[in-house]
Every structure is written in C-alpha cells, then in structure tokens.
Amino acid sequence: MKIKFLSVVIITILTASFVYPISGKDSFVTFIEYTEEGKIKELAEIQFRYDVDINSYIDVTFHPSAFVRMESGIPLSPESVRLRKELESLNNLLKIAREDLDDYVRDIDTLRKRLLENDDPLIEARFRQKLKERSNFIQKLLVALEPVVGEARLEKALGVSDSLYSGVVSLLAEHINDVQKKLEAETSSLIEHSEHTLRVWCIHSSHGKKPNAIHLNNYDNLEAGSLQIVDKVTLALTEEEDRHLRESVRFHEDLRKLVVDIGDKDSELRQAFSDLTDQFFKDLRDFRDFFGTQTLQELLDEIEKEIGSLDSSEEVNALKGALSDLKEKLKEIFNLIQKNNSLVRNLFVERPDPLTLVTLLSPELITEVEKLKDVLSQKANLDRINEISERIKNFRIVFKKVSTLLSKGLSDKINEFIEVKFQTWIATFSNLDIVLSKYEIFSDYKKVFKGLLERGLFVATISDEVGDIGDLMPKDTLEVAMSKASPTVIDIPRTNRQESDIYNLYVRIYHKGSITLSKEYSFRIKKYGTYSRWTGNLIFAKGEWQNSFQPATSVSWILHHRSRPKEKNGKTEGEGKTKGGGGVLGNVINLGIGLNSVVFSTEGEIEYGLGIAITFFNDILQVGYGFNFQREGSRGYFFIGASLFDLLNPTRSNSD
Amino acid sequence: MLILPKDNKEKARVLFGQAIADKYTITMLIFGDGQGEDQIASKADVRAGALASVRRVVWIRDVSILTEDEIRLYREGRDDFVVCTLNLDDEPVVRLDRDKANSFLALERAFLKAEAG
C-alpha cells in the first residue's frame, strides 16, 4: 500500500511539473465575429477592446480544458496531459506556417536574385541555409500531418500550387481543432465532478443612454430583442446622430460668430493704427518743413550774405568755420528726424503685436525725441562766435546779428516747435495706448473660446465615459455548471446600437460560492465597408465674387470606406492581441467624399450653398467647391474647413 | 516546366545542358513519354509552383538524348525510374519509380529533400 501511495504522489508531482510549462497558451474564451457576409475573424484573448462591425454577431465559445489548466485545482489525467503536449507542438507548427513561410519565400527569392548578380559565397551560404530551413519545416509539417489526416487528404491539399501551403495549413488547423475537441471532452469529464459554476453576462453601453444587459443565449432569462440591421449608407439620422449633429452645428455657429467678432475688432484696431501712423508722419513732415524750408534756410542765406561782404581772409575763415559748425549741427538734426521717421515707419509697416510695440518701442522713440530736443536746444557754437566777435571789431555787428538770430530767432523757434510738437507726440502716444487697451478684449475672447472648448470636451467626456459603466451583474443571469458551459452569442444586431457603442462581456467562474476566475472582454462598434455620416463644420469660404475668405457654418454628408485589418498568412490581425481598424490610409487619413451645405450670413442676409467636399482625418478637415444658388452672376465658391467639435469629441466622430 | 522536343535531338540536348547548368535551381527531371509521364510532369509542375523561383521541372520526353553516364547517374540504369531530383550542386538526390512519382506528396518530398541538400 505504501508503495502505491508513493507512486501516486510522484506521478502527481511529475504531472504537475510537466503541465505548468505549457500553460498560458490557449484561452478559456474564444470569439468568432460573423456578419451577413459570413465569418470575419477568430479571436482569442482580448486584453482591451476589439472593434467589430455594427452588423456583426459574435460567437462565444468556452474551453473548459483551458480552465482546468488555469489554477482551477482540478487534477489532470495523463491523457489530457498528452493531448495538451500534442496541441502545443501542433500550435507551434501552425504559428511558423502562418508567420514564417511567406518570409522564407521572400528571403529565398531575394537571395537568389542577388546571387545571380554576384556570386558571393556568403550570400550563397545564406541562400542554402534558408532553403534548407524551409524544407525541413515543411517536411516536419508533412510528417506530423500524414498519419493523422491521411495520405489522400494531404495529396489533395498539395494539388494546388501555393507557396504558403494553404491547403496543408488548413488541414493542420482542422487537426488542431480535433485535438482541441478531444482535450475538451477529456477535461469536461474532470470538470463534471468539480462543482465549478459559470455566470456570463454582457453590458451594452451607448452614448447618452443607461447601460443595459443584453440577452446571452443559455446564460440569462432576458428577452432577445428583434433583429435590426443597420443601413450603413443612408441620409437618415438616428436619434443620437441627430443630437450630435445639432450640437456640432450650434458649436460651430458660435465659433463662427466669435471668429467674425474678432475679425471686426482686429480691423478696427488696424484702422486706428493706420490713423496714428498718418498723424505721426504728418508731425514729422511738419518738423522737416519747418526747419528745412523756412527759418533755417533764411538764416543760412543771411549769414552767407554777411560773409560775402567780409574782406579779411582770416576773419572770413573764422566765420566760415562757424558756419560749417552750424551746418553740421543742422545735418545732425535732419539725421535724427530721418532716423525717427524710419523707426516709426518700420514699426507700423511691419505691424508688430500692439502690446509688444508699446512695451518695447515707445521708450526708444521717446528717448530719440529727447535727444532731438537736446540737440535743438544747443546754442550752436555761440561762445566761439562771441570770441571771434571780440577779436574782430569790424565784424562785431555781423556776429551780433548772427548770434541774435541764432539765440533768439532759431532757438525760440526750435523751443516753440518742440514744445508744441513734443506735446502732440505725447498725446499721440497716449492715444495709441488707449487704442491698444482695446486689445484687452482679446482676453475676453480667450474666455469665450475656452468656454466653447470646454463645452465640446464636456460632450466628449460623456461619450468616453459610457463604455466604462456597468460591471453590475443583472439579476436575470443564470448560474451554469462548468461542465455545461455551452457556446453563446453576443447578438449585436438585436440591440439598438450606434457607432462607438461598447459591449462588455463578463465571465465569472465560481467554486462553492467563491469567485475563482473573473474575466472581461470589450468590443467596440464600428462601421466597416462603405458608410455615411453627417458632420457639422466651420468652413472658410471664398466666393468668386469675394476678395477674402469668410467664415460660415456648414453641414456635410460624407461617404467613407473603412477596410478591415488585413490578414497575414491566413492569420487574422488582432488574434491574441488587441488590435482593430484598417491600415494607415484607412485609419489615419480616413478620406471621405460627400456633399457640403453652407449657410452664408452676410450683411444680415442668409444664403445657402451646396458643394462637393473631400474630407481627411475622420472628417476633421475638409476642402471643397460649391455653388451659392441665391446669388446672381458668379456663384462658385471654394472652401476649406474643420470640425473642431469632432476633434474635441473623437468618440462620437468615429475615430479609430 | 521545360519540355524538351522529341523531333529535334540536337536542340533538346542543348536545352538540357542549359537547364542543368542553370545555377541556384532545384531541378526535377522527368523521363519518358507515353506511359503517364505527362501526368507526372504536370503534377511536378504544380509542386514546383510552391517555390517558383528555385524549383524547375525538365521533362525529357526522348531519353535517347541522354548519354550512358547520364542514364546511370540519373536513373541508375533502370527504366522504371521516371523522376530524379537534383540538388543545388546538380547531384541526384531522389529517384522515383512510375508508381510513386504519380503522387503530389512524393513529388513534394523529392523537391524538399533536394532543397535540404
């Protein structure tokens, strides 16, 4: 008896250690997506969310053998261990066949081409190696299959010229299914006595509605609901689509008003700047004219006249020196005027940000004006002139006259001018400040815009949240013995659904009232193939009769085509992992074409236009050309637009 | 598939020489005509399609174009051997008699063995 007991312990330990390394390969629940077109995909573990077609239904199959392996505490039979090992080996073969055969052919072709161009021993070695690897794998595949599927079926499968050995791989997949069934049968007898039970339920979450449980055949007493196939290309709107479109149009109309208002205010400010520029230039012109054409010229003429009457060369030179100094001083004054002139011109022509202009450039301008004032207030070399006057008596009168003219006439004139003009400029800058203060209104716009964004995001948040509600088990759920875990179906076409709805499938296994396993699988609804959708936008349209683009609210009906994920070597993308959607073109650019209707509101009148639009990135951007039928003469308009609402609200905008 | 002409031995011989000299190919030779060899050649051609850039089928309908040495090498002097696969070094690897050769599975295995070296 003792020996027998020991053998049992050893066998149990060996069995357990033998089994654990191969765990984690197969899944307790598998899914197959079907549509009206037939079988679409087979799925194993879904870690997050899988996209399925809006008209699809999903077969759900439970695999007790996987459960037995997963911490169930159910002892394994030697036959189940053997079958599992066989399954493991066959699955490995299938994986290579689906994932690597194509690569082998491609590599061999490439290497052969390179060899024909250049006899490189290294390339030849790689070519031979690849050929050998591929050959060995296929031989292994045939050896594994021949005894189980029979020579006749293998012969038939090889009767097709196919580098991927699809026929043979299909036989392998079939055989794997057979072994899997044997394993299921073997393990179900183990489960029968294990007292494990199963509860399965599915929660449907739809935007704007309370999440609700849907019927799962064999697992609840809920009503199945009636079949409702969704028409993918239609002008009709569902209740939710209608609400979304109205919200979007309202949002874009408010955005349009904001854009128009900002545009108007901006024009007003630019006009104010333009007026100020004109005023400033006028002041500068006055300044130049004042000195350039009147007093200064008269003074110079008089001085030259006096100098002309002198006869002492020494005195003449001295006086000429004084005159030269005066001219230099005047030149400096003109340079300063010119400098200020170009400074101001640059400021206004380049139209910098008004606030920056005041902050950075006003002090500089004022400094320049101060300098100008200093220079103008100097008594141009009067000391030197007086010195000469003392030395040369004969010319004292002349110098006196000159000095009087300079100190009184010129200086007074300059002071008078500066006092008047400088005050004018100060006033000008004050006006500029007042105008600039109007720019503060833009901070109000920021608030309004922020409010709009928050409004859009609020809708988006609601949309996003709906999928996460409801792990609550409905009371109609039945508790089923694990040994009776029959397949069921998530019958999506029997639910009132729309794009982006979420179906969460909950699977719970109990043992004597305690939960031993809890799993959740999530599916999101998408429209695959050709489908239509409505979208609201803010567009900028430029009519043939207009010089600039005008904002307008529009509504578009757009046709899209979304491809399913491509299959590689017979294996569906997403199998065993979380993936959905199509390729780059299908998912990211998501080109659409359709009709666009625009409302033009100009000068209190409302006009309608209809055009063709091409959209990009899930209708976020669109361009098109249309006709304004309420105009006479030229009616065509080009437009470019965006749906900020959809951008903020990706769940509702069919984002991938 | 390269079908060597029966009515022009010289040309057939030249084509055969070229086929053997063709580098980096796995060649399957089919010998004879009139006793079901056409069916075998057709099946071999199907299997050649599984690796079209490398596998080649040459149907020698008139075996008299072969030299004694070649007959010994490829058919081991036996008339019932109707298929012979050559590896990358043009060495015979597998020979099949008429019965075995009429099977996709046997032809596929013959190709695979030649590819393995």
With CA atoms as reference, the chain A residue closest to B52 would be A163
Average pLDDT over residues A502-528: 88
Torsion of the alpha carbons at B90, B96, B101 and B105, rounded to the nearest 10: -80
Rounded to an integer, what distance in angstroms lies between the CA atom of residue A537 and that of residue A560?
A: 17
Closest Cα in chain A, distance from residue B43 (Å): 7
The band of A71, judged by pLDDT with boundaries at 50, 70 and 90, is low
pLDDT digits 0-9 by tens, A177-225: 888 888 878 877 777 777 888 999 999 988 767 888 999 998 998 888 8
The model carries a pTM of 0.53
Rounded to an integer, what distance in angstroms lies between the CA atom of residue A650 and that of residue A62?
A: 34
Top-confidence residue, A423 or A481: A481
Rounded to an integer, what distance in angstroms lies between the CA atom of residue A398 and that of residue A404?
A: 10
pLDDT of A37 reads 78
CA A137 → CA A143, A207, B40, B116, distances in Å? Answer: 10, 51, 25, 10
Average pLDDT over residues A62-91: 79
H/E element, A52: strand A50-53
C-alpha closest to that of A56 among A373, A575, A495, A537: A495
Task: Provide the residue type at B37 as one letter.
Answer: E
SS3 state of residue A46:
coil
User: Per mean pLDDT, which of A43-52, A56-65, A444-453, B46-55 is the most reliable?
Assistant: B46-55
Tell me whether residues B49 and A163 touch, CB distance under 8 A.
yes
Rounded to an integer, what distance in angstroms lies between the CA atom of residue A145 and that of residue A136?
A: 14
SS3 state of residue A528:
coil
pLDDT digits 0-9 by tens, A423-450: 665 666 566 556 555 555 556 666 766 7
C-alpha closest to that of A220 among A517, A475, A31: A475
Rounded to an integer, what distance in angstroms lies between the CA atom of residue A494 and that of residue A148?
A: 42
Q: Please return the burial class of A643, using the count of CB atoms within 10 Å of its CB with bins 0-12, 13-18 and 19+.
A: buried
The yes-or-no verdict on residue A565 having pLDDT over 90 is no
Interface residue A142 vs chain B (CB under 8 A):
yes
With CA atoms as reference, the chain A residue closest to B42 would be A159
pLDDT of A392 reads 37
Class of domain B2-116: alpha beta
pLDDT of A96 reads 86
Interface residue B54 vs chain A (CB under 8 A):
yes
The domain locations on chain A are 255-444, 528-648
Average pLDDT over residues A588-597: 78
Closest Cα in chain B, distance from residue A98 (Å): 15
The domain locations on chain B are 2-116
pLDDT of A163 reads 81
With CA atoms as reference, the chain B residue closest to A104 would be B51
Q: Please give the DSSP secondary-structure letter assigned to residue A512.
A: T
Least confident of A50-59, A109-118, A239-248, A588-597: A588-597
Tell me whether residues A135 and B113 touch, CB distance under 8 A.
yes
The band of A399, judged by pLDDT with boundaries at 50, 70 and 90, is very low
With CA atoms as reference, the chain B residue closest to A168 would be B105
Contacting residues of B for A155, CB less than 8 Å apart: 103-105
pLDDT of B48 reads 94
- Give the ipTM: 0.94
SS3 content of chain B, % helix, strand, coil (to 5): 50, 20, 30
Rounded to an integer, what distance in angstroms lies between the CA atom of residue B65 and that of residue B10?
A: 8
Tell me whether residues A158 and B88 touch, CB distance under 8 A.
no
pLDDT of A316 reads 60
Closest Cα in chain A, distance from residue B7 (Å): 30
Tell me whether residues B108 and A158 touch, CB distance under 8 A.
yes
Contacting residues of B for A131, CB less than 8 Å apart: 26, 54, 88, 115-116
Q: Please return the burial class of B68, using the count of CB atoms within 10 Å of its CB with bins 0-12, 13-18 and 19+.
A: exposed
